Amino acid sequence: MKTAVAGAQRRARSGEIAPETVADAAVAALPSHAASLRPVVNATGVLLHTNLGRAPLSAAAREAVRAASGCTDVEYDLATGLRGRRGQGAVEALLAACPPAEAAHVVNNNAAALVLAATVLARGREIIISRGEMVEIGDGFRLPDLLVSTGARLREVGTTNRTTAADYAAATGPDTGFILKIHPSNFRISGFTAAAGIAELSALGMPVVADIGSGLLAPEPLLPEEPDAATALRQGAALVTASGDKLLGGPQAGLLLGAAEPVERLRRHPLARALRVGKMTLAALEATLRGPQPPAVRQLHIAVTELRDRAEQLAKELAEHAVDALAVDSVSTVGGGGAPGVELPSAAVSLPESYEALLRERRVIGRIVAGRLLLDLRAVEPGDDVRLRDAVLAGGHRASGRAATVPVPGDEA
Ligand X SMILES: *Cc1c(COP(=O)(O)O)cnc(C)c1O
Site stretch for ligand X (CB under 6 A), options 21-29, 103-111, 166-174, 360-368:
103-111
Question: Where are any strands of DSSP class E within 108-188?
Answer: 126-130, 136-138, 141-142, 153-157, 176-182
Q: How far apart are the first and last CA of the chain?
A: 32
Q: By CB under 6 A, how many residues form the interface with ligand X?
A: 12
Site stretch for ligand X (CB under 6 A), options 178-186, 200-208, 272-280, 316-324:
178-186
Which residue lies nearer to ligand X by CB, 214 or 346? 214
CB-count exposure of residue 25 (10 Å: 0-12, 13-18, 19+) = exposed
In the bound state, the residue with its beta carbon closest to ligand X is 213
Helix (H) or strand (E) holding 331: strand 326-332
Considering only 119, 185, 330, 350, the residue that binds ligand X (CB under 6 A) is 185
Beta bridge partners of 181: 210
> Does 295 engage in binding with ligand X (CB under 6 A)?
no
Which residue lies nearer to ligand X by CB, 147 or 325? 147
Residue 154: CB atoms within 10 Å: 18
> Does 109 engage in binding with ligand X (CB under 6 A)?
yes
Angle between helices 110-122 and 260-268 (to 10 degrees): 100
Instruction: Kindly state the smallest distance separating residue 308's Cβ from ligand X, in Å.
Output: 31
Site stretch for ligand X (CB under 6 A), options 20-28, 104-112, 118-126, 193-201:
104-112
> Does 98 engage in binding with ligand X (CB under 6 A)?
no
From 329, 302, 304, select the one nearest 315 (Cα to Cα).
Answer: 329
What contacts 24+ positions apart, CB below 8 Å, involve 18-24? none
Helix (H) or strand (E) holding 267: helix 260-268
> Does 211 engage in binding with ligand X (CB under 6 A)?
yes
Site stretch for ligand X (CB under 6 A), options 105-113, 115-123, 287-295, 377-385:
105-113
The answer to whether 248 touches 281, Cβ cutoff 8 Å, is no
Site stretch for ligand X (CB under 6 A), options 8-16, 155-163, 180-188, 377-385:
180-188
Site string for ligand X, 230-269 (x = CB under 6 A): -------------x----------x---------------
Beta bridge partners of 157: 130
User: Please, which of residues 315-334 interact with ligand X by CB under 6 A?
Assistant: none
Residues that bind ligand X (CB under 6 A): 109-111, 137, 182-183, 185, 211, 213, 243, 254, 337
